[in-house]
Amino acid sequence: MVSSAAGDHHHVTGWRCAVCSAVVDIATDFPWRCPNATATDRHHLLQMVQADTSPASTGISTPDAHFAWAGHAAANGMSLADRMEMVSRLNSAVGAVAGTDFTPTPFARSAELSDALGFTSAGGVWVKDETGGVAGSQKARHLFPILLHLQAVEAFGRLPERPPLAIASCGNAALAAATLARAARWPIEVYVPTWMSDGFGVQLDRLGADVRRCERLRDDPPGDPAMLRFREAVEGGAIPFTVQGPENALCLDGGRTIGWEISEQLSSAGIDSVDRVFVQVGGGAFATCLGAGLSLQHPSARLHAVQTAGCAPLVRAWQRAKELDLGPDEVAHHWGQVMTVWEQPQSLADGILDDETYDWIGVFAAMAASGGSPIESPEADVITAHELAHSAGFDVSATGSAGLAGLISALRSGASSGDPIGASERVVVVMSGIER
């Protein structure tokens, strides 16, 4: 193993697969997937091995010791000063393309939402508003460390040519990926479903992305055809610039910053605890990272993963795990039984129509550790949440307000759910995905 640069102490020391326990050293280049994952056995997931779990106090634009990408760079001899310069340069380039760089996004109690949903002054709804962040959502947080890792490998002389980046997405993740690729002057291929809106296509074209609409082929296996074409591109040499942990574990690195920021902002506001967090779930990386980042200082904040009635593979998997009597440490070994493809996803919240929750293991762990549970929201609640969010002043898409839909559904189910929400509870939702 290569030793870290002098004076560096890093919290992330490597990677371990949640399924087969394979270990990957922190100094390894391109730790995208478990080394035992194959085209016919994709049920593997690298997770960060941490030397300790002390609370982080950092933003994504700092080369902090809590980041896996920074641990890799230090293990290969890059000094803190060089890491700082690399981050600053790339963050400035992001700002020039996106109109904003990586800075903490707003977090505050919404009096409008709190009053509309019947909370008392002692409780209420606190909103983390990501709509003004890079590319209008939290997705860029997941992707930034992948670029930093790639630029570090370039600096070490081990990436003489730039293969294209590749992502499968129908909305916010694609825009975030294309924005960052433009900032880094890196070619990118974006694999999208045939039903992606023309508005997203125009924006991707403006960013110089190579957009590829993916029809289902006659001999395709079950699953999203855009994801199938993305995987074929990666097998052909493209870099998985994606927000699915099983495809690129580094996307789970920077996503934790949203939880770290919320913890700091709660502390600054003099709030020592929150009761629940509602977060929209498509592929699951967002909820995995939010749960991991927030749990360090707020382990008792119950995480509720929200999906729509028209696409709820995680909710179904949670129920299957209960029926099979599988504990949190056992579910990963029953991937094929628990997490299966959802047929014909549909919802106004089209950005979370992933037919499989790819990062379900991390979401399960976060919910189990916090005493939370998944929520399936009827489409009527998705529509109501979108309207309510706009009336409260948030320029958010139906996808971005889907966490609020989960809160509305939970409040409506009340005592029948076995876990009613009290009017004095403090609840967090995230608005992520600006209206396009």
Q: Which residues of the chain have pLDDT under 70?
A: 1-9, 52-57, 415
pLDDT of residue 129: 98
234 with 240: CB under 8 angstroms?
Answer: yes
235 with 207: CB under 8 angstroms?
Answer: no
pLDDT of residue 55: 64
> Measured between alpha carbons, how far is 263 from 271 in angstroms, rounded to an integer?
9
Q: How large a percentage of the chain has pLDDT more than 70?
A: 96
> Measured between alpha carbons, how far is 244 from 359 in angstroms, rounded to an integer?
6
CATH numbers and ranges of domains, the chain? 12-81+139-252 (3.40.50.1100), 107-138+255-431 (3.40.50.1100)
Phi/psi class of residue 371: alpha, beta or left (left: φ > 0; alpha: ψ in -120 to 50)?
A: left
Q: Which two tokens stand for residue 311?
A: 């696409």
pLDDT of residue 198: 80
Phi and psi torsions of 253, nearest 5° = -80, -65
End-to-end CA distance of the chain, in Å?
47
State how far the alpha carbon of 226 is from the alpha carbons of 110, 187, 206, 210, 252, in Å: 37, 18, 21, 14, 21
Residue tagged 């990963």 (tokens): 332
pLDDT of residue 56: 66
Name which of 196, 194, 142 is nearest 173 in CA terms.
Answer: 142
Name which of 311, 374, 317 is nearest 340 in CA terms.
Answer: 317
pLDDT of residue 6: 42
Q: Which two tokens stand for residue 31?
A: 């730790």
358 with 246: CB under 8 angstroms?
Answer: yes
4 with 10: CB under 8 angstroms?
Answer: yes
296 with 369: CB under 8 angstroms?
Answer: no
258 with 277: CB under 8 angstroms?
Answer: no
pLDDT of residue 393: 98
> Measured between alpha carbons, how far is 139 from 255 in angstroms, rounded to an integer?
8
Q: How large a percentage of the chain has pLDDT more than 90?
A: 83
